[in-house]
Amino acid sequence: MEKVVIIGSGPAGWTAALYAARAQLAPLVLMGRQPGGLLTTTSIVENFPGFPEGMDGYELMTRMQKQAERFGAKTSFGILDSADFSRRPFALVVDGEPLTAQTVIIATGASHKHLGVPGEHELENKGTTYCATCDGALPGFRNQPLVVVGGGDSACEEAMYLTRFGSEIFLIHRRDSLRASKIMAERTLAHPKIKPVWDSVVTEVLDVKQDKVTGVKLKNLKTGAETVLACAGVFIAIGHVPNTELFKGQITTDENGFIVPQLGTTTNVPGVFVAGDCADHVYRQAITAAGTGCAAAIDAERFLAAQNV
């Protein structure tokens, strides 16, 4: 039986593992389908404290893993099949094999919603990105026309942030008005650098042959007209999907599937804690995920101590 099982291996998971390992709880980290989490798809991370020159996302996650393992964290490439939180110890099934745990930290993260158009996947990290705060300051985007896709608060925030770096920001939205809150929409549309493109969708990200983003193909949903808009970057901000489907019906989530913490990192099930982007629809940064990973490990440690485990 494991004292602590951590589901997920992004910044939240590895930070939780580090703190739990240093508390001599020998946590087991289930690395899942994407070891290292979404951060491994980021070519350079420039906003994680302690790395003034920036750090490759994969390398940063590898360092976190080694640090946690140094203090006794255990790792498994296994994928969680099911989890029964109806009684303790909790019953998990990993790659078809049973596993029991006194406590569980859910750090499964969230996945970006994708457009699903040609060129999007091929040009990811080559001009296509899903996080302006992560990538907007990169040299290739400076003083260049940039595209943001979306119409909610997140898209407006991305567009506003990018005005610091891009020469002009084209905000592509499929409707003729923004879904964002009124104050955010007004602030966004009032900015001289932001140019809305209404009633339009991106049908292709260009140019795979050049191995970098050079523009997007657009289609006007009202007229059917197709155009090409030149740009150096495409920032897709149409939302996130938390990786929490496996816990549906057991762990309390909001209407979008994000886990709702009760007190600190506790969930509605005593002994089950949550950290990172699967419970965060606001910040979604590596450093905030790491912070909640720390908190979840401390909460789990105190829970176990209270149980004399």
The DSSP line for 42-94 is -S-B-SSTT-TT-B-HHHHHHHHHHHHHHTT-EEE---EEEEE-SSSSEEEEE
Neighbours of 223 (CB within 10 A): 9
Question: Choosing from 56, 81, 135, 278, which is the catalytic residue?
Answer: 135
Rounded-to-integer distance, Cα 66 and Cα 62, Å:
6
As a whole number of Å, the CA-based R_g of the chain is 21
Among this protein's residues, is 131 annotated catalytic?
A: yes
Among this protein's residues, is 254 annotated catalytic?
A: no
Report the sign of the C-alpha dihedral through residues 110, 259, 75, 290, in that order: positive
* Whether 149 contacts 237, CB under 8 Å: yes
Integer CA distances (angstroms), 48 to 55, 167, 201, 237, 276, in order: 8, 26, 33, 21, 15
* Whether 223 contacts 209, CB under 8 Å: no
Among this protein's residues, is 231 annotated catalytic?
A: no
- Structure tokens that stand for 137 in this block: 């300051």
Question: Choosing from 56, 131, 153, 280, which is the catalytic residue?
Answer: 131
Question: Choosing from 134, 156, 231, 278, which is the catalytic residue?
Answer: 134
In the chain, DSSP finds a helix count (H) and a strand count (E) of 6, 17
- The catalytic residue positions are 131, 134-135
